[in-house]
């Protein structure tokens, strides 16, 4: 028997849970930093504050989308799709963790201040202790899931958008973002294939499945245009070749979606788009202006961490 096994047996089992070997636990140790040991040096000429703000944008898109998809766990139409949506949620959560940790490493001032001695790592402080206006995700990922068809419609669009974005981000001058993008492309390609196949299946399935799909697509579509609005931070990182200007993605995303729509025999929705919020404020999700769905989402996602700001999990 090895030394550490012996120690585990001699000590009170519950002492072992929180004392001594922190590396066993999921939260509250720097060993768990998803970027532990990754070189997070920022290249010369790169605006660290803009880079951090940009990482929050892409990280929040993944985090909020992941949270919504996780709400399907135990609720999907069948076990296979329950597992599929949970797997997709997990991939996006992994991307969110890396991106939020990258934001914190690039500019530590983005991380909310917690009581002294709090064991909460930066990525969790960002996820659980920012207020709604601090989140930079596009509004597209926030609304409630709706039925399975609406979730499929949203996932087709979001994964097509994110795949096009990550494919370009592979060339980022920031080595960490480039590495996150290379992994993300492989994952999101699976997500898009999954969602697009279900889109086709529902469109060509029964009258009811098609009715629900078309209705779901119309419900998600009013927030489509915002995906391609460039925030000043996105323009800055694009100019510095660390990030991607989303206005350059629209044509490619449209082509892929048109392919899905035409095979499915579904028309691209013609519904009015939700505009910017606030007079002249340029208000969008990227500015921290969100839909009504965001508050309840954060209340659920953040409640446990906020109730125990010094908690160890």
Q: Does 74 bind other proteins (CB under 8 A)?
A: no
Q: Does 92 bind other proteins (CB under 8 A)?
A: yes
Neighbours of 34 (CB within 10 A): 17
Q: What is the DSSP string of 111-141?
A: SPP--TT----HHHHHHHHS-GGG----GGG
Supply the minimum distance, in Å, between the C-beta of residue 148 and other proteins: 15
> Integer distance in angstroms from the first to the last C-alpha of the chain?
28
- Residues 90, 274, 277, 293: which binds other proteins (CB under 8 A)? 90
Please, which of residues 234-293 interact with other proteins by CB under 8 A? 252, 256, 259-260, 263
With CB under 8 A as the contact rule, which of the stretches 145-153, 177-185, 282-290, 291-299 interacts with other proteins?
177-185
- Residues 60, 187, 226, 234: which binds other proteins (CB under 8 A)? 187
Which CB atom, from 92 or from 127, has the smaller least distance to other proteins? Answer: 92
Q: Does 91 bind other proteins (CB under 8 A)?
A: yes
Q: Does 35 bind other proteins (CB under 8 A)?
A: yes
Contacts 24+ apart (CB under 8 A), 32-35: 32/121, 33/101, 33/121, 33/122, 33/123, 34/94, 34/97, 34/98, 34/101, 34/123, 35/98, 35/101, 35/102, 35/105, 35/176
Helix, strand, coil tally for the chain in percent (to 5): 65, 0, 35
45: DSSP letter: T
- Residues 167, 174, 226, 234: which binds other proteins (CB under 8 A)? 167
Please, is 1 exposed, middle or buried when counting C-beta atoms within 10 Å of its C-beta (0-12, 13-18, 19+)? Answer: exposed
- Residues 15, 20, 41, 186: which binds other proteins (CB under 8 A)? 186
- Residues 16, 34, 146, 283: which binds other proteins (CB under 8 A)? 34
Give which of 87, 152, 165, 100 is closest to 126, Cα–Cα: 100
Which CB atom, from 47 or from 187, has the smaller least distance to other proteins? Answer: 187
Q: Count residues near other proteins (CB under 8 A).
A: 57
CA gap 194, 151 in Å, rounded: 12
- Residues 70, 182, 277, 305: which binds other proteins (CB under 8 A)? 182
Q: Does 197 bind other proteins (CB under 8 A)?
A: yes
Q: Alpha helix (H) ranges present in 130-205?
A: 148-169, 175-203
Q: Which residues contribute to the site for other proteins (CB under 8 A)?
A: 2-4, 21, 23-24, 26, 31-32, 34-38, 80-81, 83-84, 86-88, 90-95, 97-98, 163-164, 167, 170, 175-176, 178-180, 182-187, 189-190, 192-194, 196-197, 200, 252, 256, 259-260, 263
């Amino acid at each position: 028997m090895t030394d550490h096994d012996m120690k585990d047996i001699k000590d009170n089992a519950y002492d072992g849970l929180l004392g001594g070997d922190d590396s066993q636990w999921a939260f509250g140790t720097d060993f768990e930093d998803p970027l532990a040991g990754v070189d997070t040096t920022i290249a010369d000429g790169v605006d660290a504050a803009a880079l951090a703000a940009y990482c929050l944008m892409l990280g929040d898109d993944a985090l909020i989308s992941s949270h919504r998809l996780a709400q399907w766990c135990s609720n999907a139409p069948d076990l296979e799709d329950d597992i599929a949506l949970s797997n997709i949620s997990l991939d996006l959560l992994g991307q969110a963790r890396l991106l939020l940790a990258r934001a914190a490493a690039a500019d530590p001032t983005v991380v909310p201040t917690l009581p002294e001695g709090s064991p909460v790592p930066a990525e969790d402080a960002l996820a659980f202790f920012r207020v709604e206006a601090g989140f930079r995700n596009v509004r597209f990922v926030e609304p409630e899931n709706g039925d399975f068809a609406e979730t499929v419609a949203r996932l087709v669009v979001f994964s097509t958008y994110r795949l096009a974005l990550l494919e370009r981000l592979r060339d980022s001058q920031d080595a960490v973002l480039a590495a996150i993008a290379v992994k993300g492309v492989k994952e999101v390609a699976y997500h898009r294939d999954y969602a697009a196949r279900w889109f086709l299946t529902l469109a060509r399935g029964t009258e009811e499945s098609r009715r629900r799909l078309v209705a779901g697509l119309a419900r998600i579509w009013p927030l489509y245009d915002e995906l391609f609005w460039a925030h000043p931070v996105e323009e800055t990182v694009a100019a510095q070749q660390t990030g991607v200007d989303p206005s350059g993605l629209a044509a490619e995303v449209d082509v892929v979606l048109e392919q899905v729509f035409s095979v499915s025999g579904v028309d691209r929705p013609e519904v009015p788009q939700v505009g910017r919020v606030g007079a002249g404020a340029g208000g969008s999700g990227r500015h921290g202006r969100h839909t009504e769905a965001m508050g309840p989402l954060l209340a659920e996602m953040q409640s446990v961490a906020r109730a125990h700001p010094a908690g160890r999990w």
